[in-house]
């Protein structure tokens, strides 16, 4: 393996969605620190601009582009602007923009929440892969990282909306990795557990779910910077899966080796710890987030 292919996250021409905060901003800053140029895209142009300012203040190169990943037209324009700035194809694309929905059982979660989460968490990576995979394949070199979640394989009650979207993003990544095998393009799915970002505060969660998630994040979450470094190093090694925390690795193995036992145990815990219905819960926060 050549040095170039082994260290593809260094001196990369990168496109990062949801780069305005959290994991996306951490990806952008780390890639710039590794000597690359970064297109920082976000639905909030001011947030993307702040990430660019942080990069340029450290001597890096970056530009901000507004992009709503749920719109294919926006992603196509993102690709055009990125290639114009790079003067050629990108070498690394990170489909990171995402949102969280939780706190209600299937049948109680509003269909509008399903549509919202699917449009960003699933259609965002689909649009990103649909637009950028052919560009990287034609170039014969590059990488794609899709930010999924440990919820993709360790689904929890009252988190169906989020888990379904992330499970689909993981399947998308696995399929794309197989399709691009031998083309010079690597694909990695990032599957973390709790990461210290603003995802809880800016998602659509019941008050109780937001409180529990925030507490778990404070107690067990790791920084997005640690997650990003581990993911990029995994990607450089050609890994399809990145589990940046021990609990994510253990969860992956347990659900693969004993899926029925895992599901029954989770259901038992849920029955004895959760109210019978979540339909009456109030206190939803409805706003879009990135990364």
Burial of residue 43 (CB within 10 Å: 0-12, 13-18, 19+) is buried
Nearest to 144 by CA among 161, 127, 168: 127
- Phi, psi of 100, rounded to the nearest 5 degrees: -120, 140
Beta strand pairing status for 142-147 and 185-190? parallel
User: What single DSSP character describes residue 195?
Assistant: B
Annotated catalytic, 162?
yes
Residue 119 — left, alpha, or beta (φ > 0 → left; ψ -120 to 50 → alpha)?
A: alpha
89 CB neighbour count, 10 Å cutoff: 19
The continuous run of DSSP H or E covering 38 comes out as: strand 37-42
Catalytic hit among 10, 141, 162, 241: 162
Answer whether 213's CB lies under 8 Å from 205's CB: yes
For 156-223, where are the alpha helices, taking DSSP H only? 160-179, 207-220
First to last CA, the chain: 32
The continuous run of DSSP H or E covering 128 comes out as: helix 123-139
Name 167's Cβ contacts closer than 8 Å, sequence gap at least 6: 148, 151, 152, 153, 155
Which two three-digit tokens encode residue 80?
Answer: 């055009």
The set of catalytic residues is 162
């Amino acid at each position: 393996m050549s040095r170039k292919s082994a260290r593809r996250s260094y001196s990369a021409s990168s496109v990062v969605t949801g780069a305005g905060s959290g994991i996306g901003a951490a990806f952008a800053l780390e890639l710039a620190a590794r000597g690359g140029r970064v297109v920082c895209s976000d639905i909030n142009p001011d947030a993307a601009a702040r990430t660019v300012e942080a990069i340029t203040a450290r001597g890096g190169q970056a530009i901000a582009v507004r992009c709503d990943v749920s719109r294919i037209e926006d992603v196509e324009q993102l690709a055009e602007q990125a290639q114009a700035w790079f003067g050629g194809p990108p070498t690394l694309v990170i489909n990171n923009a995402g949102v969280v929905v939780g706190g209600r059982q299937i049948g109680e979660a509003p269909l509008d929440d399903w549509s919202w989460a699917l449009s960003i968490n699933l259609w965002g990576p689909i649009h990103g892969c649909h637009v950028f995979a052919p560009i990287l394949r034609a170039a014969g070199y590059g990488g794609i990282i899709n930010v999924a979640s440990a919820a993709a394989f360790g689904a929890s009650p009252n988190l169906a909306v989020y888990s379904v979207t992330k499970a689909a993003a993981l399947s998308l990544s696995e399929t794309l990795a197989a399709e691009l095998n031998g083309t010079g393009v690597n694909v990695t799915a990032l599957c973390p557990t709790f990461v210290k970002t603003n995802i809880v505060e800016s998602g659509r969660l019941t008050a109780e779910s937001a409180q529990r998630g925030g507490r778990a994040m404070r107690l067990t979450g790791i920084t997005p910077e640690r997650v990003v470094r581990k993911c990029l190093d995994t990607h450089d090694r050609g890994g399809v899966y990145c589990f940046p925390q021990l609990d994510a690795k253990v969860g992956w193995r347990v659900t693969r080796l004993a899926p029925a036992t895992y599901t029954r145990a989770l259901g038992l815990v849920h029955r004895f710890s959760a109210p019978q219905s979540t339909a009456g819960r109030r206190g939803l926060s409805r706003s879009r987030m990135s990364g």
